């Protein structure tokens, strides 16, 4: 039986692109908000015995889109689908993947439990902040690397490139990226202020970067602080050109302006998170993740 794809309100354009790669259209679902902001969902398709995909990026406003997604899952599950598959191009709460200080919650695990409680059978997601999040799930998780969509852009540069990891936590991701392209790697040590979210205390470059084109590889851009500070440090160390490649453009506040005015020469991101037109700037280059996700979905319904 033909599968059905539903999309929440977080990134409808990406969802439509994914569906169109699969030569399908999005299923009809009614999502309304009551005056007090409560959400109500009703699926308007017969899902019985079908494979159903629900696409939603858990981006800003995270709680709103998370709740909408969970309610969509419940509405579908009640229609007795064959399998219900969550497609989260951006997985919210992923940065809270461990307890940094006593008394903190383990939010990434709570979200995993919610997804399983609603009854999803499988999850496809992209560039998790940390691979350890997969371990919070009992259901199978297909974890895709969004950074692969930048391989061709790197090859086209034809320059003396070094890959940079912007902090120790991102080392494995940058290592994989550098190894796949057979490029050298350098490291930035980043110390965050745990009492003040997004505040960076210190950064130090370790490795050979002088006269090279440095590509900083990260999972997400939020305030732009990590990249801006890293770019200044790298230029101080004699880097010729700095490019930032991050899967998720979770821009908040003035991130667009910070990045445009920074010493970064180019910013490559994907469309896992919808970027409003007003947040576009000339250094920004957006590559679509739609083909990568669609081909994974296709394998599942073959």
Residues numbered 54 to 113 that lie near ligand R5P (CB under 6 A) are none
Is-catalytic flag, 155?
A: no
Residue 272 touches ligand R5P, criterion: CB under 6 A: no
Q: What mask, x for binding ligand R5P by CB under 6 A, covers residues 105 to 134?
A: ------------------------x-----
Q: Exposure of 121 by Cβ count < 10 A (0-12 exposed, 13-18 middle, 19+ buried)?
A: middle
Residue 270 touches ligand R5P, criterion: CB under 6 A: no
**Count of alpha carbons within 13 Å of 259, Cβ hemisphere only?**
30
Count of residues in contact with ligand R5P, rule CB under 6 A = 15
Q: What mask, x for binding ligand R5P by CB under 6 A, covers residues 173 to 212?
A: -------------------------x--------------
Provide the minimum distance between the beta carbon of 116 and ligand R5P in the complex, in angstroms, as a whole number.
25
CA-CA distance, 196 to 193, in Å (whole number)? 5
CA-CA distance, 65 to 57, in Å (whole number)? 7
DSSP-derived 3-state class of residue 51: strand
Phi-psi map region of 135: left, alpha, beta (phi>0 left; psi -120 to 50 alpha): alpha
Provide the minimum distance between the beta carbon of 150 and ligand R5P in the complex, in angstroms, as a whole number.
16
Q: Is the omega angle on the peptide bond into residue 61 within 30 degrees of 0, that is, cis?
A: yes
- The answer to whether 76 and 109 have CB atoms below 8 angstroms apart is no
Considering only 9-17, 34-42, 108-116, 165-173, which stretch makes contact with ligand R5P by CB under 6 A?
165-173
Residues numbered 211 to 240 that lie near ligand R5P (CB under 6 A) are 218-226
Catalytically active residues, by annotation? 190
Chain residues that interact with ligand R5P, rule: CB under 6 A: 129, 166-167, 169-170, 198, 218-226
């Amino acid at each position: 039986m033909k599968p059905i794809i539903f999309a929440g309100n977080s990134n409808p354009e990406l969802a439509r692109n994914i569906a169109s790669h699969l030569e399908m259209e999005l299923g009809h679902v009614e999502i309304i908000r009551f005056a007090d902001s409560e959400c109500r969902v009703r699926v308007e398709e017969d899902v019985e015995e079908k494979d159903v995909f629900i696409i939603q990026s858990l981006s800003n406003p995270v709680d709103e889109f998370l709740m909408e997604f969970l309610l969509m899952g419940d509405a579908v599950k009640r229609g007795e689908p064959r399998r219900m598959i969550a497609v989260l191009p951006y997985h919210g709460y992923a940065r809270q993947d461990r307890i940094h200080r006593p008394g903190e919650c383990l939010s990434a695990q709570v979200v995993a439990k919610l997804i399983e409680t609603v009854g999803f059978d499988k999850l496809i997601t992209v560039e998790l902040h940390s691979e350890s999040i997969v371990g919070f799930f009992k259901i199978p998780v297909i974890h895709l690397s969004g950074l692969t969509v930048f391989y061709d852009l790197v090859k086209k540069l034809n320059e003396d490139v070094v890959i940079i990891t912007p902090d120790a936590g991102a080392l494995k991701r940058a290592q994989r990226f550098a190894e796949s392209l057979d490029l050298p790697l350098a490291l930035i040590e980043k110390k965050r202020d745990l009492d003040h979210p997004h505040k960076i205390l210190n950064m130090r470059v370790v490795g050979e970067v002088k006269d090279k084109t440095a590509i900083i590889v990260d999972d997400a851009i939020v305030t732009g602080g990590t990249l801006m500070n890293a770019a200044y440090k790298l230029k101080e160390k004699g880097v010729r050109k700095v490019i930032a490649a991050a899967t998720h453009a979770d821009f908040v506040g003035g991130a667009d302006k910070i990045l445009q005015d920074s010493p970064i020469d180019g910013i490559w991101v994907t469309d896992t998170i919808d970027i409003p037109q007003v947040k576009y700037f000339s250094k920004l280059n957006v590559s679509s993740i739609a083909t990568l996700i669609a081909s994974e979905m296709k394998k599942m319904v073959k």
